[in-house]
């Protein structure tokens, strides 16, 4: 598949310089068609009967397999969730931490991870990675570890600065359980999750899937308490509610997930071209260079992932981002910062970058 063929699959790109995958990725035509077909079938044939149920289970299995493939892990260790937030709650709820325990996180985390950490009962220790060069992240995190640390909970790609944290090195350097928020990494960069303990997926961003769907890799599913069981967690259940959990990570599966979304996600995951990571890295680099040449203070260091964050020139990032959106360039301001964020994926063209610079000038 060529770049032009891949790009032509995303109707929104015909009109907009859509630099928004850090929030919601573009939807391919095939994804929309798979969803529409499922909706049509649901409307015409009803949502009932064993064929419908089998279809739903088959779609869940297909998504699990594909997400596991994206993370290079076994499907038995992959749970289906509705989001990264859902995955973080499953892990933090299952670890049963108390006030004597500490969680080390960073100063660049999203509420999707921070909320579950905040209600975990543990003491939170924040490592200041965003004010330091990306190459120092491992040392900064290691310096925050104490004998009480029970978990390191960090993003693979920081949603504000765009920096990549080498999560495998963090695991190696600390030897502690590591929970990785993969919302900004899976689909944007090559991920091999097998070295860490927990790794979340958001399907609506860089995987260009429908919302709301996600995944959670759990290295040792039997070793994590099942804190929020669903209908899909159980092999069997007694009338008093006691149950035998399913083997592997399926025990952490979300309840009913929208069948049209599952159908759309299978199509989205099957579509992703092989050269996607290389091209995404190159175009993000060009975006960085173009903004710097145009005189913007670029916050994201070279050689990171798909996010490129830069300072608004007039100190009003909300107004600047809104003006760009009006001009057909979809970018966003980052809350409580002077920064604007552009998301570059494999589908991003050099013309999109021209439009970005023009809209900001």
> Considering the rule CB under 6 A, would residue 198 count as an interface residue with ligand PLP?
no
The nearest distance, CB 196 to ligand PLP, in angstroms, is 15
Q: Which residue is nearest to ligand PLP (CB)?
A: 112
Q: Would you call 305 helix, strand, or coil by DSSP?
A: coil
Question: Which 99-128 residues touch ligand PLP, going by CB under 6 A?
Answer: 110, 112-113
How far apart are the C-alpha atoms of 169 and 150, rounded to whole Å? 17
Judged by CB, which is closer to ligand PLP: 95, or 113? 113
Q: List the beta bridge partners of residue 103.
A: 124, 151
Interhelix angle 259-271/29-45, rounded to 10 degrees, is 150
If one asks whether residue 339 binds ligand PLP (CB under 6 A), the answer comes out as no
Other C-beta atoms closer than 10 Å to the C-beta of 316 total 13
Tokens of 253: 């599966």
Q: Does 184 bind ligand PLP (CB under 6 A)?
A: yes
Residue with Cβ nearer ligand PLP (234 or 343): 343
Considering only 9, 89, 202, 300, the residue that binds ligand PLP (CB under 6 A) is 202
By CB atoms closer than 10 A (0-12, 13-18, 19+), residue 289 is middle
For ligand PLP, the closer CB: 149 or 184? 184
- Separation of alpha carbons 46 and 2, rounded Å: 39
Q: Characterise 5 by phi-psi region: left (phi > 0), alpha (psi -120 to 50), beta (else).
A: alpha
What is the residue-wise DSSP string for 218-250?
A: ES-GGGS---S--GGGEEEE-TTS-EEEPSGGG
Choice from 20, 38, 83, 348 touching ligand PLP (CB under 6 A): 83
Q: What character string, x for contact with ligand PLP (CB under 6 A) and - otherwise, covers 3-42?
A: --------------------x-------------------
- Report the residue number, 112 or 221, with the smaller CB distance to ligand PLP: 112
| CA pair distance 7, 56, nearest whole angstrom | 30
Please give the Cα distance from 37 to 43 (Å, whole number): 10
Residue 150 near residue 176 (C-beta atoms within 8 A): yes
Question: Could you give the CA distance from residue 215 to residue 182 in angstroms, rounded to a whole number?
Answer: 10
Q: What would the two tokens of residue 192 be?
A: 């091999």
Of 130, 184, 128, residue with least CA distance to 157: 184
The residue (of 113 and 266) whose beta carbon lies closer to ligand PLP is 113
Regarding 85 and contact with ligand PLP (CB under 6 A), the answer is yes
Identified binder of ligand PLP from the candidate list 177, 214, 215, 317, rule CB under 6 A? 214
- For ligand PLP, the binding residue among 9, 31, 38, 84 (CB under 6 A) is 84
Contacts with ligand PLP by CB under 6 A: the residue count is 14
The residues in 254-273 that bind ligand PLP, with binding defined as CB under 6 A, are: none
| Binding range to ligand PLP, per CB under 6 A, among 67-75, 121-129, 177-185, 233-241 | 177-185
User: Which lies closer to ligand PLP via its Cβ, residue 181 or residue 253?
Assistant: 181
For residues 97 and 158, which CB has a smaller minimum distance to ligand PLP in the complex? 158
* Site of interaction with ligand PLP (CB under 6 A): 23, 83-85, 110, 112-113, 155, 159, 181, 183-184, 202, 214
């Amino acid at each position: 598949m060529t770049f032009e063929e891949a790009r032509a699959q995303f109707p929104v790109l015909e009109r907009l310089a859509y630099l928004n995958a850090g929030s919601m990725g573009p939807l391919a035509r095939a994804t929309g068609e798979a969803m529409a077909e499922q909706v049509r079938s649901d409307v015409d044939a009803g949502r009932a009967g064993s064929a419908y149920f089998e279809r739903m289970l088959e779609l869940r299995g297909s998504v699990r397999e594909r997400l596991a493939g994206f993370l290079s892990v076994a499907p038995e260790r992959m749970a289906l969730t509705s989001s990264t937030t859902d995955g973080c709650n499953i892990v933090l709820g299952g670890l049963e931490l108390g006030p004597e325990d500490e969680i080390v996180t960073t100063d660049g985390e999203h509420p999707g991870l921070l909320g579950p950490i905040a209600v975990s009962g543990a003491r939170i220790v924040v490592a200041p990675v965003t004010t330091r060069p990306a190459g120092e992240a491992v040392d900064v995190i290691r310096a925050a570890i104490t004998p009480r640390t029970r978990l390191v909970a960090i993003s693979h790609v920081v949603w504000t600065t765009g920096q990549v944290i080498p999560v495998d090195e963090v695991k190696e350097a600390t030897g502690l359980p590591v929970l990785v928020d993969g919302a900004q990494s899976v689909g944007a960069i090559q991920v091999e999750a097998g070295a860490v303990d927990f790794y979340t997926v958001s399907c609506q961003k860089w995987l260009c899937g429908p919302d709301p769907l996600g995944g959670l890799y759990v290295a040792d599913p039997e070793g994590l308490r099942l804190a929020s069981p669903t209908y899909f967690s159980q092999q069997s259940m007694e009338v008093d509610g006691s149950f035998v959990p399913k083997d592997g990570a399926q025990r952490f599966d979300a309840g009913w997930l929208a069948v049209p979304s599952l159908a759309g996600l299978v199509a989205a995951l099957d579509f992703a071209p092989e050269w996607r990571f290389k091209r995404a890295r190159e175009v993000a680099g060009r975006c960085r260079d173009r903004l710097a040449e145009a005189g913007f203070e670029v916050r994201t260091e070279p050689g990171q992932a798909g996010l490129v964050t830069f300072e608004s020139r007039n100190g009003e990032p909300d107004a600047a981002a809104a003006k760009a959106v009006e001009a057909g360039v979809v970018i966003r301001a980052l809350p409580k910062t002077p920064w604007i964020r552009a998301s570059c994926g494999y589908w991003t063209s050099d013309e999109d970058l021209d439009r970005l610079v023009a809209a900001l000038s």
